[in-house]
Amino acid sequence: MRILWLVLCASCLFAADADLDIIKTIQKLSKVEVRYTNPQSPYLKKIYTMLLADLKISGHFKVITGGLQQPNNPNYNALASQGVRLLVELSMEEPTQVNVRIHDVQNKNIQSIKDYAFEDKTLYPFIAHHVATDAHASLNLPSVAWMNRLVVFARYIEPGVTNIAVADYTLTYQKDIIQNNLLNLFPKWANTEQTEIYYTQYLQEPTIVKYNIQDGSSEVIAQSEGMAAVSSVSPDGKKLLLTLAPEGQSDIFLYDTAKKTQERLTQYSGIDVSGIFINHAKSMVFVSDRSGQPNIYIKKLNPNAPAEQVVYYAQNNDSVSAFGNKIAFVSREERDENGQSAFNLYMITLKSNHVRRLTASGVNQMPHFSEDGKAIMFVKKAAQQSALGVILLDYNQSYLFPLKGINIQSFDW
């Protein structure tokens, strides 16, 4: 039996239900039934409900809602007759510990038993996310470990004031980690463990700060007039791509975290921003207006290397994310029948000229690939209510999580 500890503190809890938009699904799904006991524990039911949503969102399961049941030995034959492959049982015998049993119905045995200990009840969504990940692993299904990751974002408070907050991917759990009555923007995870971030604090000059979430320590990385932001962190955390504007116009710089030195990679009279590492941190893609309008370019990490246009679809592409050979970008399109400009997400690969459309309408911005490159998170803005969106690339599914009273200025996943 293994005990998993969730140690991140939280101060508030916001509920959010996923709005499901299935574009296309063609696959045979494994059946999983989820049950829970202990009706006196409100958090156990919350975990149960969140787990049902996680399993559905993954696109790998047909979910059967077993609901509240008395503790007893499961009837494997009855479950097998319904085509159930897995049975997940949740119980809570202690107020700070959730017991999870995953049954292999086909082989009529318990595949795993884990206790999830959590002192802070607002962290309950992460128990559900971890159980969903374990359920996938038990059947050797594609990983959904992206569900376990934190989202860090800049939250608008009032003019000139934004807080930095963290949340789970559904925004059910949220906590402000930087709140100082200042303008704090462009948060970026500093490591894969998600224990540190970079962000820009607007003092006399925009200042890039490295902040440790666990102990609250901070370190100034760079300052620049007009613009300063970390746009990309290399996989090993040793290199950063910075957007700085020391002479008025923004350019991209390579920063060495060990030597604390920076090297200018672009020197263009217009705008170069949002550099993203590709090719094992040997090259970058970035946004530039050197063709007259914002577009996506590629360049090796050498000041003298040429910049080559990589996207030829549309003429106004002002945001980019990359993973491996995949590049996601935002393209501004013609106005619709209501006179509103549309901003849609597209994806290309460096190995082909094929352009894949990811969204169909509306204002879709700030794409970010998941750590495994199999999902893209983005912000969908609307007059009535905006949402945080997740696109599962392998299954052509997208989900929207309403941003209730939240205005996200920038985020990282």
pLDDT in tens, 313-343: 877 898 999 999 999 999 998 776 667 788 9
Reduce the DSSP state of residue 142 to 3 states and report it. coil
pLDDT of res. 23: 37
Query: Residue 411: which of 248, 202, 241, 168 has the closest Cα?
Result: 168
Q: Which of 118-122, 133-137, 172-176, 220-224 has the lowest mean pLDDT?
A: 118-122
How, if at all, do strands 151-158 and 30-36 pair? unpaired
pLDDT in tens, 107-122: 999 999 999 988 899 9
pLDDT of res. 379: 97
Residue owning tokens 């993973």: 323
pLDDT above 90 as % of the chain: 75
Task: Give yes or no for a contact between 66 and 84, defined as CB atoms under 8 angstroms apart.
Answer: no
How many Cβ atoms from other residues are within 10 Å of residue 409's Cβ?
17
For residue 114 the two structure tokens come to 């884990």
- The rounded distance, in Å, linking the Cα atoms of 214 and 99 is 27
Rounded to two decimals, the pTM is: 0.89
For residue 331 the two structure tokens come to 């393209």
Task: Give yes or no for a contact between 202 and 185, defined as CB atoms under 8 angstroms apart.
Answer: yes
DSSP state letters, 209-238: EEEETTT--EEEEEE-SS-EEEEEE-TTSS
Task: Give yes or no for a contact between 407 and 176, defined as CB atoms under 8 angstroms apart.
Answer: no
Q: Work out the pLDDT band at 27, boundaries 50, 70, 90.
A: low
CATH class of 151-412: mainly beta
pLDDT of res. 316: 86
Task: Give yes or no for a contact between 319 and 330, defined as CB atoms under 8 angstroms apart.
Answer: yes
Q: Work out the pLDDT band at 129, boundaries 50, 70, 90.
A: very high
Reduce the DSSP state of residue 68 to 3 states and report it. strand
- The rounded distance, in Å, linking the Cα atoms of 336 and 318 is 19
pLDDT in tens, 31-72: 999 999 987 888 999 999 999 999 999 989 999 999 988 888
Average pLDDT over residues 2-30: 42
Task: Give yes or no for a contact between 356 and 365, defined as CB atoms under 8 angstroms apart.
Answer: no
Q: Which of 1-5, 320-324, 326-330, 357-361 has the lowest mean pLDDT?
A: 1-5
pLDDT over threshold 90, residue 250: yes
pLDDT of res. 392: 93
- The rounded distance, in Å, linking the Cα atoms of 389 and 380 is 7
Average pLDDT over residues 178-193: 97
How many Cβ atoms from other residues are within 10 Å of residue 411's Cβ?
22
Helix 124-138, helix 42-58: angle, nearest 10:
50
pLDDT over threshold 90, residue 357: yes
Task: Give yes or no for a contact between 244 and 225, defined as CB atoms under 8 angstroms apart.
Answer: no
Reduce the DSSP state of residue 370 to 3 states and report it. coil
How many Cβ atoms from other residues are within 10 Å of residue 273's Cβ?
22
pLDDT of res. 336: 66
Task: Give yes or no for a contact between 130 and 56, defined as CB atoms under 8 angstroms apart.
Answer: no
Select the more confidently predicted residue: 219 or 340: 219
CA 254 vs CA 242, 251, 363: distances in Å? 6, 10, 31
- The residues with which 151 forms a beta bridge, in sequence order, are 167
Average pLDDT over residues 269-297: 95
pLDDT of res. 324: 92
- The rounded distance, in Å, linking the Cα atoms of 92 and 339 is 54
For residue 225 the two structure tokens come to 């007039």
Select the more confidently predicted residue: 406 or 186: 186
Put residue 353 in one of left, alpha, beta given phi > 0 → left and psi -120 to 50 → alpha. alpha
pLDDT in tens, 394-404: 888 899 999 98
- The rounded distance, in Å, linking the Cα atoms of 123 and 137 is 22
pLDDT of res. 247: 85
The reply to whether domains 2-146 and 151-412 share a CATH topology is no
Architecture of domain 2-146 in this structure? 3-Layer(aba) Sandwich (3.40)
Average pLDDT over residues 359-368: 93
At residue 191, what are phi and psi to the nearest 5 degrees? Answer: -150, 165
Average pLDDT over residues 288-307: 95
Q: Where are the domains of the chain?
A: 2-146, 151-412
- Mean residue pLDDT of the chain comes to 90
Q: Work out the pLDDT band at 76, boundaries 50, 70, 90.
A: very high
